Structure 1
Protein backbone atom coordinates (compact mmCIF):
# COMPACT_ATOMS: atom_id res chain seq x y z
CA UNK A 1 0.00 0.00 0.00
CA UNK A 2 1.37 3.38 -0.98
CA UNK A 3 0.51 7.03 -1.59
CA UNK A 4 -0.46 7.20 -5.27
CA UNK A 5 0.13 10.83 -6.24
CA UNK A 6 1.07 14.30 -5.10
CA UNK A 7 3.50 15.55 -2.50
CA UNK A 8 3.92 12.21 -0.69
CA UNK A 9 3.83 10.08 -3.86
CA UNK A 10 5.37 6.64 -3.57
CA UNK A 11 5.58 6.56 0.23
CA UNK A 12 4.75 3.16 1.62
CA UNK A 13 2.04 2.95 4.27
CA UNK A 14 1.91 0.34 7.01
CA UNK A 15 -1.15 -1.91 7.17
CA UNK A 16 -3.18 -2.77 10.25
CA UNK A 17 -2.20 -6.30 11.38
CA UNK A 18 -4.80 -9.05 11.07
CA UNK A 19 -7.95 -9.26 8.98
CA UNK A 20 -10.14 -6.75 10.83
CA UNK A 21 -9.22 -3.86 8.50
CA UNK A 22 -9.72 -3.99 4.74
CA UNK A 23 -7.56 -1.33 3.09
CA UNK A 24 -8.70 0.27 -0.15
CA UNK A 25 -6.73 -1.23 -3.04
CA UNK A 26 -4.28 1.19 -4.67
CA UNK A 27 -6.05 0.84 -8.03
CA UNK A 28 -9.44 1.71 -6.51
CA UNK A 29 -7.93 4.58 -4.46
CA UNK A 30 -6.31 6.04 -7.59
CA UNK A 31 -9.60 5.83 -9.47
CA UNK A 32 -11.51 7.39 -6.56
CA UNK A 33 -9.23 10.40 -6.43
CA UNK A 34 -9.12 10.79 -10.21
CA UNK A 35 -12.94 11.03 -10.11
CA UNK A 36 -12.66 13.79 -7.50
CA UNK A 37 -10.37 16.10 -9.34
CA UNK A 38 -7.66 14.68 -9.05
CA UNK A 39 -5.91 17.50 -7.13
CA UNK A 40 -7.08 19.96 -4.48
CA UNK A 41 -6.22 23.56 -3.69
CA UNK A 42 -6.45 23.63 0.10
CA UNK A 43 -9.42 22.72 2.23
CA UNK A 44 -9.92 20.14 4.95
CA UNK A 45 -10.66 16.44 4.67
CA UNK A 46 -12.37 14.05 7.06
CA UNK A 47 -11.49 10.35 6.74
CA UNK A 48 -14.03 8.20 8.60
CA UNK A 49 -13.23 4.55 9.38
CA UNK A 50 -9.69 5.60 8.51
CA UNK A 51 -8.05 2.20 9.02
CA UNK A 52 -4.50 3.00 7.87
CA UNK A 53 -5.23 6.66 7.16
CA UNK A 54 -4.54 6.08 3.46
CA UNK A 55 -7.49 8.09 2.10
CA UNK A 56 -6.82 11.13 4.31
CA UNK A 57 -3.09 10.95 3.61
CA UNK A 58 -3.79 10.74 -0.14
CA UNK A 59 -6.10 13.78 0.07
CA UNK A 60 -3.41 15.87 1.79
CA UNK A 61 -0.77 14.59 -0.62
CA UNK A 62 -2.96 15.84 -3.46
CA UNK A 63 -3.39 19.33 -2.02
CA UNK A 64 -5.79 19.37 0.92
CA UNK A 65 -4.39 21.61 3.66
CA UNK A 66 -5.24 19.18 6.48
CA UNK A 67 -7.09 15.98 7.32
CA UNK A 68 -8.78 14.52 10.37
CA UNK A 69 -8.52 10.73 10.54
CA UNK A 70 -11.12 8.91 12.65
CA UNK A 71 -11.19 5.26 13.69
CA UNK A 72 -12.41 3.51 16.84
CA UNK A 73 -9.96 0.59 16.84
CA UNK A 74 -6.74 0.98 18.80
CA UNK A 75 -4.63 -1.09 16.32
CA UNK A 76 -5.82 1.17 13.48
CA UNK A 77 -5.06 4.35 15.45
CA UNK A 78 -1.56 3.04 16.18
CA UNK A 79 -0.91 2.38 12.46
CA UNK A 80 -2.41 5.74 11.42
CA UNK A 81 -0.08 7.54 13.83
CA UNK A 82 2.91 5.57 12.46
CA UNK A 83 1.94 6.39 8.87
CA UNK A 84 1.43 10.09 9.62
CA UNK A 85 4.68 10.32 11.63
CA UNK A 86 6.76 9.25 8.62
CA UNK A 87 5.38 12.08 6.46
CA UNK A 88 7.16 15.41 6.00
CA UNK A 89 4.23 17.37 7.54
CA UNK A 90 2.62 15.33 10.33
CA UNK A 91 1.16 18.53 11.80
CA UNK A 92 -1.32 18.62 8.92
CA UNK A 93 -3.12 15.59 10.39
CA UNK A 94 -5.37 15.12 13.40
CA UNK A 95 -5.93 11.54 14.56
CA UNK A 96 -9.04 10.84 16.60
CA UNK A 97 -9.89 7.54 18.31
CA UNK A 98 -13.66 7.52 18.36
CA UNK A 99 -16.69 5.72 16.95
CA UNK A 100 -17.78 7.54 13.79
CA UNK A 101 -21.22 8.56 15.06
CA UNK A 102 -19.71 10.11 18.21
CA UNK A 103 -17.06 11.92 16.16
CA UNK A 104 -19.68 13.36 13.80
CA UNK A 105 -21.69 14.65 16.76
CA UNK A 106 -18.56 16.20 18.31
CA UNK A 107 -17.67 17.95 15.04
CA UNK A 108 -21.23 19.20 14.69
CA UNK A 109 -21.26 20.60 18.23
CA UNK A 110 -17.97 22.37 17.50
CA UNK A 111 -19.32 23.85 14.25
CA UNK A 112 -16.64 22.09 12.17
CA UNK A 113 -17.04 21.79 8.42
CA UNK A 114 -15.05 19.77 5.91
CA UNK A 115 -14.50 20.22 2.19
CA UNK A 116 -14.15 16.48 1.60
CA UNK A 117 -15.72 13.76 3.74
CA UNK A 118 -14.63 10.21 2.96
CA UNK A 119 -15.85 6.96 4.47
CA UNK A 120 -14.78 3.39 3.83
CA UNK A 121 -16.71 1.48 6.52
CA UNK A 122 -16.35 -2.23 7.21
CA UNK A 123 -18.59 -3.90 4.64
CA UNK A 124 -20.51 -5.81 7.31
CA UNK A 125 -21.42 -2.66 9.28
CA UNK A 126 -22.49 -0.08 6.76
CA UNK A 127 -24.59 2.78 8.04
CA UNK A 128 -23.65 5.29 5.36
CA UNK A 129 -27.19 6.36 4.52
CA UNK A 130 -27.84 7.20 8.19
CA UNK A 131 -24.49 8.96 8.36
CA UNK A 132 -25.34 11.06 5.29
CA UNK A 133 -28.44 12.25 7.16
CA UNK A 134 -26.25 13.10 10.17
CA UNK A 135 -23.65 14.90 8.03
CA UNK A 136 -26.40 17.02 6.48
CA UNK A 137 -28.27 17.67 9.75
CA UNK A 138 -25.10 18.79 11.54
CA UNK A 139 -23.89 20.95 8.64
CA UNK A 140 -20.53 19.14 8.46
CA UNK A 141 -20.04 19.57 4.72
CA UNK A 142 -18.66 22.97 3.71
CA UNK A 143 -20.38 24.80 0.85
CA UNK A 144 -19.19 23.25 -2.40
CA UNK A 145 -17.90 20.21 -0.48
CA UNK A 146 -17.88 16.59 -1.56
CA UNK A 147 -18.72 13.28 0.10
CA UNK A 148 -17.09 10.05 -1.12
CA UNK A 149 -18.12 6.63 0.20
CA UNK A 150 -16.66 3.24 -0.62
CA UNK A 151 -19.10 0.49 0.31
CA UNK A 152 -19.93 -3.10 -0.48
CA UNK A 153 -22.31 -3.94 -3.28
CA UNK A 154 -25.04 -4.79 -0.76
CA UNK A 155 -25.66 -1.11 -0.01
CA UNK A 156 -28.62 -0.07 -2.14
CA UNK A 157 -28.44 3.67 -2.67
CA UNK A 158 -31.73 5.35 -3.53
CA UNK A 159 -31.97 7.27 -6.82
CA UNK A 160 -32.36 10.50 -4.82
CA UNK A 161 -30.59 11.21 -1.53
CA UNK A 162 -32.18 14.23 0.11
CA UNK A 163 -29.82 17.20 0.34
CA UNK A 164 -27.25 15.73 -2.06
CA UNK A 165 -26.63 15.45 -5.77
CA UNK A 166 -24.96 12.34 -7.11
CA UNK A 167 -21.80 13.14 -9.07
CA UNK A 168 -20.68 9.59 -9.79
CA UNK A 169 -21.26 5.97 -8.82
CA UNK A 170 -18.71 3.40 -9.91
CA UNK A 171 -18.39 -0.30 -9.15
CA UNK A 172 -15.17 -2.26 -8.62
CA UNK A 173 -15.78 -6.00 -8.15
CA UNK A 174 -17.15 -6.29 -4.60
CA UNK A 175 -17.00 -2.53 -3.93
CA UNK A 176 -18.84 0.56 -5.10
CA UNK A 177 -17.83 4.20 -4.84
CA UNK A 178 -20.40 6.96 -4.52
CA UNK A 179 -19.48 10.63 -4.87
CA UNK A 180 -21.98 13.28 -3.79
CA UNK A 181 -22.09 17.05 -3.48
CA UNK A 182 -24.46 19.10 -1.39
CA UNK A 183 -27.57 20.21 -3.29
CA UNK A 184 -27.44 23.86 -4.27
CA UNK A 185 -30.75 24.44 -2.47
CA UNK A 186 -29.06 23.59 0.85
Structure 2
Protein backbone atom coordinates (compact mmCIF):
# COMPACT_ATOMS: atom_id res chain seq x y z
CA UNK A 1 0.00 0.00 0.00
CA UNK A 2 1.09 3.56 -0.66
CA UNK A 3 -0.12 7.18 -0.56
CA UNK A 4 -1.91 7.72 -3.87
CA UNK A 5 -1.48 11.47 -4.49
CA UNK A 6 -0.45 14.85 -3.14
CA UNK A 7 2.54 15.95 -1.06
CA UNK A 8 3.29 12.43 0.24
CA UNK A 9 2.22 10.67 -3.00
CA UNK A 10 4.01 7.41 -3.75
CA UNK A 11 5.33 6.89 -0.21
CA UNK A 12 4.72 3.39 1.16
CA UNK A 13 2.24 2.72 3.97
CA UNK A 14 2.71 -0.06 6.49
CA UNK A 15 -0.34 -2.15 7.37
CA UNK A 16 -1.17 -4.52 10.19
CA UNK A 17 -1.04 -8.22 9.43
CA UNK A 18 -4.14 -10.24 10.30
CA UNK A 19 -7.84 -9.47 10.44
CA UNK A 20 -8.07 -6.82 13.20
CA UNK A 21 -7.97 -4.00 10.63
CA UNK A 22 -9.14 -3.88 7.01
CA UNK A 23 -6.96 -1.36 5.19
CA UNK A 24 -8.64 0.51 2.35
CA UNK A 25 -6.91 -0.55 -0.87
CA UNK A 26 -4.99 2.03 -2.94
CA UNK A 27 -7.59 1.66 -5.71
CA UNK A 28 -10.59 2.29 -3.41
CA UNK A 29 -8.74 5.12 -1.59
CA UNK A 30 -7.93 6.81 -4.91
CA UNK A 31 -11.53 6.44 -6.14
CA UNK A 32 -12.85 7.69 -2.78
CA UNK A 33 -10.75 10.87 -2.95
CA UNK A 34 -11.73 11.46 -6.59
CA UNK A 35 -15.34 11.23 -5.40
CA UNK A 36 -14.95 13.78 -2.55
CA UNK A 37 -12.19 16.10 -3.69
CA UNK A 38 -9.75 15.15 -4.92
CA UNK A 39 -7.76 17.98 -3.29
CA UNK A 40 -8.48 20.23 -0.29
CA UNK A 41 -7.78 23.81 0.69
CA UNK A 42 -7.09 23.30 4.40
CA UNK A 43 -9.36 22.07 7.18
CA UNK A 44 -9.34 19.38 9.87
CA UNK A 45 -9.83 15.68 9.31
CA UNK A 46 -10.97 13.08 11.86
CA UNK A 47 -10.52 9.33 11.37
CA UNK A 48 -12.38 7.52 14.15
CA UNK A 49 -11.18 4.02 13.20
CA UNK A 50 -7.70 4.80 11.85
CA UNK A 51 -6.33 1.29 11.24
CA UNK A 52 -3.07 2.08 9.40
CA UNK A 53 -3.85 5.81 9.22
CA UNK A 54 -3.87 5.73 5.41
CA UNK A 55 -7.07 7.74 4.90
CA UNK A 56 -6.00 10.62 7.15
CA UNK A 57 -2.47 10.70 5.78
CA UNK A 58 -3.90 10.75 2.24
CA UNK A 59 -6.21 13.66 3.22
CA UNK A 60 -3.32 15.71 4.64
CA UNK A 61 -1.22 14.81 1.60
CA UNK A 62 -4.01 16.27 -0.54
CA UNK A 63 -4.27 19.57 1.35
CA UNK A 64 -5.97 19.18 4.74
CA UNK A 65 -4.13 21.12 7.49
CA UNK A 66 -4.28 18.57 10.29
CA UNK A 67 -5.62 15.14 11.17
CA UNK A 68 -6.82 13.50 14.36
CA UNK A 69 -6.59 9.71 14.20
CA UNK A 70 -8.36 7.49 16.73
CA UNK A 71 -7.30 3.86 17.17
CA UNK A 72 -7.88 1.49 20.09
CA UNK A 73 -5.79 -1.51 18.91
CA UNK A 74 -2.24 -1.29 20.30
CA UNK A 75 -0.61 -3.02 17.32
CA UNK A 76 -2.46 -0.74 14.89
CA UNK A 77 -1.38 2.31 16.94
CA UNK A 78 2.28 1.37 16.36
CA UNK A 79 1.66 1.11 12.59
CA UNK A 80 -0.14 4.49 12.58
CA UNK A 81 2.83 6.08 14.37
CA UNK A 82 5.29 4.59 11.83
CA UNK A 83 3.15 5.83 8.93
CA UNK A 84 2.89 9.33 10.44
CA UNK A 85 6.68 9.38 10.91
CA UNK A 86 7.11 8.47 7.22
CA UNK A 87 5.40 11.78 6.25
CA UNK A 88 8.11 13.81 8.05
CA UNK A 89 5.23 16.17 8.99
CA UNK A 90 4.37 14.71 12.40
CA UNK A 91 3.06 18.04 13.74
CA UNK A 92 0.06 17.78 11.40
CA UNK A 93 -1.14 14.55 13.05
CA UNK A 94 -2.47 13.58 16.49
CA UNK A 95 -3.08 9.97 17.47
CA UNK A 96 -5.63 9.31 20.22
CA UNK A 97 -5.13 5.82 21.65
CA UNK A 98 -8.68 5.01 22.70
CA UNK A 99 -12.10 3.84 21.56
CA UNK A 100 -14.09 6.07 19.20
CA UNK A 101 -16.84 6.85 21.73
CA UNK A 102 -14.33 8.04 24.34
CA UNK A 103 -12.53 10.16 21.74
CA UNK A 104 -15.79 11.83 20.67
CA UNK A 105 -16.46 12.84 24.28
CA UNK A 106 -12.98 14.44 24.52
CA UNK A 107 -12.63 16.14 21.12
CA UNK A 108 -12.94 19.90 20.67
CA UNK A 109 -13.33 22.19 17.66
CA UNK A 110 -14.95 21.21 14.39
CA UNK A 111 -13.97 18.82 11.61
CA UNK A 112 -14.44 19.40 7.88
CA UNK A 113 -13.78 15.80 6.82
CA UNK A 114 -14.58 12.69 8.84
CA UNK A 115 -13.79 9.07 7.97
CA UNK A 116 -15.87 6.26 9.49
CA UNK A 117 -14.86 2.69 8.73
CA UNK A 118 -15.93 0.85 11.89
CA UNK A 119 -15.95 -2.92 12.38
CA UNK A 120 -19.73 -3.07 12.94
CA UNK A 121 -20.79 -0.59 10.33
CA UNK A 122 -24.44 0.42 10.38
CA UNK A 123 -25.20 0.77 14.10
CA UNK A 124 -21.83 2.30 14.89
CA UNK A 125 -21.91 4.82 12.01
CA UNK A 126 -25.36 6.09 13.02
CA UNK A 127 -24.36 6.36 16.71
CA UNK A 128 -21.03 8.04 15.88
CA UNK A 129 -22.56 10.66 13.56
CA UNK A 130 -25.31 11.43 16.10
CA UNK A 131 -22.72 11.83 18.88
CA UNK A 132 -20.42 14.02 16.70
CA UNK A 133 -23.37 16.24 15.78
CA UNK A 134 -24.64 16.48 19.38
CA UNK A 135 -21.14 17.55 20.56
CA UNK A 136 -20.93 20.27 17.88
CA UNK A 137 -17.91 18.66 16.18
CA UNK A 138 -19.26 18.92 12.62
CA UNK A 139 -18.13 21.97 10.62
CA UNK A 140 -20.81 23.74 8.58
CA UNK A 141 -19.24 22.33 5.38
CA UNK A 142 -18.63 18.85 6.85
CA UNK A 143 -18.21 15.80 4.65
CA UNK A 144 -18.52 12.40 6.35
CA UNK A 145 -17.12 9.46 4.38
CA UNK A 146 -18.34 6.03 5.48
CA UNK A 147 -16.79 2.82 4.17
CA UNK A 148 -18.82 -0.35 4.64
CA UNK A 149 -19.40 -3.75 3.12
CA UNK A 150 -21.48 -3.35 -0.05
CA UNK A 151 -24.45 -5.09 1.62
CA UNK A 152 -24.80 -2.45 4.37
CA UNK A 153 -27.72 -0.03 3.87
CA UNK A 154 -27.22 3.27 5.70
CA UNK A 155 -30.11 5.69 6.38
CA UNK A 156 -30.71 8.58 3.93
CA UNK A 157 -30.33 11.05 6.82
CA UNK A 158 -28.54 10.89 10.17
CA UNK A 159 -28.76 13.85 12.58
CA UNK A 160 -28.09 17.01 10.51
CA UNK A 161 -26.54 15.28 7.46
CA UNK A 162 -27.87 13.43 4.44
CA UNK A 163 -26.43 11.19 1.74
CA UNK A 164 -24.73 13.20 -1.02
CA UNK A 165 -23.00 10.38 -2.95
CA UNK A 166 -22.80 6.62 -2.74
CA UNK A 167 -20.71 4.25 -4.81
CA UNK A 168 -19.74 0.57 -4.70
CA UNK A 169 -16.17 -0.54 -5.39
CA UNK A 170 -15.90 -4.35 -5.44
CA UNK A 171 -16.90 -5.56 -1.95
CA UNK A 172 -16.79 -2.05 -0.45
CA UNK A 173 -19.40 0.70 -0.46
CA UNK A 174 -18.53 4.36 0.10
CA UNK A 175 -21.31 6.63 1.38
CA UNK A 176 -20.71 10.37 1.70
CA UNK A 177 -22.89 12.50 3.96
CA UNK A 178 -23.04 16.33 3.88
CA UNK A 179 -25.28 18.97 5.49
TM-score normalised to structure 1 length: 0.91
Cα separation, 1, equivalents of 2:133 and 2:38: 24
| 2:120 is the alignment partner of 1:157 | no
- Is the Cα contact below 8 Å between 1:115 and 1:144 reproduced in 2? yes
Per the alignment, residue 35 of structure 2 pairs with: 35
Distance 1:125 1:133, change over 3 A: closer
Per the alignment, in what secondary structure is the counterpart of residue 86 of structure 1?
helix
| 8 Å contact kept, 2:46–2:113 | yes
CA distance in 1 between partners of 2:104 and 2:150 (Å):
24
Give 2:126's match in structure 1, choosing from 110, 125, 129.
129
Summarize deviations over 1:26-67 as a string: whole Å, max 9, x none: 111011111111100111100111000000000000000110
Contact (CA 8 Å) 1:123, 1:152: kept in 2 or not?
no
CA distance in 1, matches of 2:2, 2:17: 16
Classify the secondary structure of the residue corresponding to 1:6: coil
Provide the aligned C-alpha RMSD in A: 1.5
TM-score by length of 2: 0.94
Structure 2: 5+ residue stretches without partners: none
Give, in whole Å, the separation in 1 of the partners of 2:156 and 2:15.
35
1:120-142 Cα shifts (integer Å, max 9, x gaps) = 11257851011111111111111
